[in-house]
Amino acid sequence: MRAFCLAVIITALFAGQAFAQEYKATNVVDMVRDSVVSIDINSLSVNYATFDQSTQSLLTRQITGVIYTENGYILTDSNSIDDGIYINVRFENGKEYEAEFIGADLQYGVGVIKIDPDADHELTPIKMRGELYNSDVGSLPYEQGEPVLAIGYSGGYGGTVTSGIISAIRTFRNSRRILIPNMIQADVPINIGNEGCPLFNDLGEVIGFHDIQGGGGSLQRISFFAPSWIVKRVADEIISNHESERPADDTDIVWHPWLGIQPYAGSSGASGLRAQSDDLKMFFGMPDQYWDVGVLLNDVWREGPAAEYGLRRMDWLMTVTVVNQDENTGEDTVKTPYQLIKNVQQLEVLVSTAERGDIFIFGVLRNGNLFDVEVTIGQHPAATAYLPDASSDITGSDLARMSEYF
């Protein structure tokens, strides 16, 4: 027994040495140190008890950003950057610049600012992994157990490096109640000032951006990072809108795919979430071949795409096929072949990754009849409410209710 234990220990030691030789955090830091910046967001605070303008004070919030393009676009956390009267960006080499606020998407937590660097200051953009994790085909841009590190403005100390591993990859709702496929859970320590910081893999590529600080109490070192593919998509659209000078109320500013449906399993009841029980399926006369599948609609948003194309409250969505229609040729391409809908999460992932022009062909069970309903994915009506200088007719109560629909 002693010999066996000793062999295990020796094997573990050699494995640890091999891992250390293969991955060195110093190598990653050397590759990316010039791409991570510290950002000071300076804003005015007013005494709201008296609204006395003479009692205004300057507050500074410290966050982290990364160089996204050679011409000065920087990605950062969306929180509080839009109310900054002065945004200051500092590099590790001592260079400092005043930044312009470009845009912020609060639903996905993506903020974009821009600097005008000196002629002799060549910016180094980060490298981002842009692939979407696909568990069905085993396509993994990152895997559980991989070493990762974060660099950020931690606790007021710029350029702080923390490391860990990918603890899990899971579909998860972010702090704005938006479902994000392939959210990265990591045990990298995140502190005040690190919010929105990049998560690097061992190749120096950004695979995610900090989104949620988990844990608390007896739970420690649990943080969630939005995958870089979705951050990249949102940032590219914000930048494209800025450079093309489109009006701020353009509904295509940033794409927020939306059907406007609320599944029965996702609605609140007196005792928590109401489940699709066997009794419920018997009540609806569920055919035997569909007994283990199907999502029941608790509600349909009154002006959403689902309602427009004919879905109703208490419809069962049994099957789905997703096709994309080319806006120029009108030709359809099958993106997701016909499949049974086994749970709500499966459907949410398809919606959250949908592109403009996607058509969802649902097999719908209603009053014992099974038929197809085609729904063209739409833009979330509240999307423009999260962008600079944009206006929205959506009320606060509607925004709160919309968080229960996708």
| pLDDT one-digit tens code per residue, 308-364 | 999 999 898 999 999 988 777 778 889 889 999 888 878 888 888 888 889 999 999
Summarised one tens digit per residue, pLDDT across range 267-313 is 444 333 455 677 777 777 777 777 778 888 988 988 899 999 999 99
Domain spanning 128-232: CATH superfamily? Trypsin-like serine proteases (2.40.10.10)
Average pLDDT over every residue of 362-379: 91
Q: CA-to-CA distance for 196 and 150, rounded, in angstroms? A: 10
Summarised one tens digit per residue, pLDDT across range 191-232 is 777 777 899 998 889 999 888 766 554 556 788 888 888 899
- The conformation of residue 201, written as its DSSP 8-state character, comes to -
| Residue extents of the structural domains in the chain | 35-126, 128-232, 257-402
Q: Which CATH class is domain 257-402?
A: mainly beta
Cβ 129 vs Cβ 142: under 8 Å: yes
Average pLDDT over every residue of 135-150: 74
Output phi, psi for 45, to 5 deg: -115, 135
List Cβ neighbours of 241 (8 Å cut-off, separation of 6 or more).
Answer: 103, 250, 253, 254
Cβ 184 vs Cβ 231: under 8 Å: no
Residue 375 has pLDDT above 90, yes or no: yes
Helix (H, G, I), strand (E, B) or coil at 267: coil
Q: Which CATH class is domain 35-126?
A: mainly beta
Task: Note whether 35-126 and 128-232 share their fold.
Answer: yes
Query: How many CB atoms are closer than 10 A to CB 282?
Result: 10
Summarised one tens digit per residue, pLDDT across range 65-110 is 899 999 999 998 887 676 667 888 988 888 899 999 888 887 888 8
**Of 131, 112, 138, 98, nearest in space to 206 by CA:** 131
For residue 397, what pLDDT is reported? 64
Summarised one tens digit per residue, pLDDT across range 224-274 is 888 888 899 899 988 888 887 665 555 456 888 999 998 876 444 433 345
Cβ 261 vs Cβ 297: under 8 Å: yes
Query: How many CB atoms are closer than 10 A to CB 29?
Result: 17
